[in-house]
Structure 1
Amino acid sequence: MLADYHVHTAFSNDSVYLMEDVVKDAISLEIEDICFTDHVDYGPYRDWDDPRGIEYRAGEEDEPEWVALTNVEYKKYFSLIEELKEKYKKQISIKAGLEFGVQTHTIPEYEKLFASYPFDFIILSIHQVGDEEFWTNEYQSTRTQQEYNEGYYKELLSVVQNYHNYSVLGHMDLIVRYDEQGPYSFEKVKPIITEILKTVIADGKGIEVNTSNHRYGIADMTPSRDILKLYRELGGTIITIGSDSHKKEHLGAYIDWAKEELRKLGYTQFCTFEKMKPVFHDLE
């Protein structure tokens, strides 16, 4: 079975990929199950209808002149997913999800959002700490490599201890992607990663394999093979696979590769989700 469970569209402020085009392209790639997981990052970004108004950034190549720095326009998002589910029901299974960029201080906003819409799947990610972004180096720039690596995992641990309405952790070692100083020793952060994984497993949640490591030039898997081995050793079984696609060329990329790598690590199954419940499939 070919499934992609980390997919972004024009509802995310870092993509212009129209949702129906994603569906059509997924069908052409013979993807059988797809879950939309557009970005919600409370703290740095506001909802589209926030009474304080919204901010904009200048558009880059292939983008509009100005891009609204907002979270998903939820009503339109879920309505369109339902339309596409019906239109393409004989060709592909479409699931409704979001990627929650949670921080401890924003948990109440995610609790409210989760209660407001019907979800199949939620990716829990950490994109910022203290509203400081990783991708711009804002968070790392004022800290040592030890401080920003440990700070990232401490925030992730705090979040999973206090927030429970999610399905899997997204790109669990994301800080690696934005660490300009190079690889940081796994052994130094292994104790806190162990606590994170134990919490996730006890809570009945999982982690994802994110195949975007290829386009970011990361030699290891995302999360690393060390983390994936540890997760299995601790008894973890819930694994999803996603491309983290934002463009046509990303969609479905390296999904089969990820399956093979998981088999090498001793895994026998991966998951899709429906109504927040995992569905297990053999790694073929």
Structure 2
Amino acid sequence: MLADYHVHSEFSDDSSYPMDEVCAHACELGITELCFTDHVDYGVKPDFDNIPSDMKGVRIENGIPVTNVDYKHYFPRIEQMREQFAPNLVVRTGMEFGAQSHTLEQFNALFERYASVWDFIILSIHQVDDQEFWSGDFQKGRTQAEYNMAYYEEMLYVAEHFDNWSVLGHLDLIKRYDPAGIWPDSNTRDIVAEILKCVIRKGKGIEVNTSSFRYGLPDLQPSTEILRLYRDLGGRILTFGSDSHKPKHLGAHIPEVHDRVRALGYSQFCTFNHMEPMFCEL
């Protein structure tokens, strides 16, 4: 079974890949199940239908405000895809919550607002204190130790204080945007272990994000060391996602990563239905 559980479409601010093209392409690639997980990042983006009249704090790109998902059209469009591509492709309803410690109330409200439709939620840390990693704003003025530890501390807080999620996305994402190079896992092992214990205690999981290949990282994301630690702590819930934003990303490297994760001692991965993990053989 080939499932891609981290897929972005034209409803994400950083993608223009139409949902119907995603689904058609998935069928061509032999993907049997996918989950749309478009971006919501409270704190740095307003909702599509709640742009402030004075545009204060709103980023403009190519003359267009950068916003969160257009919820009104997102969920019906996924339902259309589900009907259009059945039975060849199972299409799940998800989202990627770019949560921060000060935005959890907004995410709880969003989750409850659409409680009946969710299949899957990726919990990701994309910013801390509304400072972006990709732009370098968060790292600026901090030592490598300071910004790495602050990233994992934020993740631990969010994981402990928020319940409406399925898996932690690209757990060691900070490596992708570290201007000083990759900080060794040994330096963060203790706090990562605390995060993983929280994941397991809550009955949640982690994703293996195959975008590590296109970003030129030297290891999987999360790293093989983190995956071994998760296994040793008793973690069982794993999903695989390409973090696709365009056609060449979709499904990329997932079969290869199946093999690598199997070699680490895992025998199963998960898909999700109505927020419940469904175990599949690797």
Same fold (TM over 0.5): yes
Q: TM-score range by the shorter chain?
A: over 0.9
Instruction: Give, in angstroms, the shift of residue 273 of structure 1.
Output: 0.4
> What TM-score results when the alignment is normalised by the length of structure 2?
0.96
In the alignment, residue 10 of structure 1 is paired with which amino acid? E
CA shift digits 1:38-92 (9 cap, x unpaired): 0000000000111514535333xxxxxx343100001200010111111111210
Map 1:1-284; keep pairs closer than 5 Å: 1-50=1-50, 52-53=52-53, 55-59=58-62, 66-117=63-114, 118-283=117-282
In the alignment, residue 157 of structure 2 is paired with which amino acid? S
Structure 1: 5+ residue stretches without partners? 60-65
In the alignment, residue 221 of structure 2 is paired with which amino acid? T
Instruction: Give, in angstroms, the shift of residue 30 of structure 1.
Output: 1.1
| Count of aligned pairs between the two proteins | 277
Distance 2:44 2:244 in 1: 22
Any idea what SS the aligned residue of 1:236 has? coil
Distance 2:234 2:264 in 1: 13
4+ runs deviating over 6 angstroms: none
- Tell me: CA distance 1:281–1:216, structure 2 relative to 1, closer, same or farther (3 Å): same
CA RMSD, 1 decimal: 0.9
Distance 1:147 1:19 in 2: 39
Give yes or no for contact 1:13–1:68 (8 Å, CA) kept in 2.
Answer: no
Distance 1:16 1:279 in 2: 30
Q: Which deviates more, 83-92 or 225-234?
A: 83-92
Q: Which deviates more, 237-246 or 185-194?
A: 185-194
Distance 2:5 2:76 in 1: 19
> What TM-score results when the alignment is normalised by the length of structure 1?
0.96
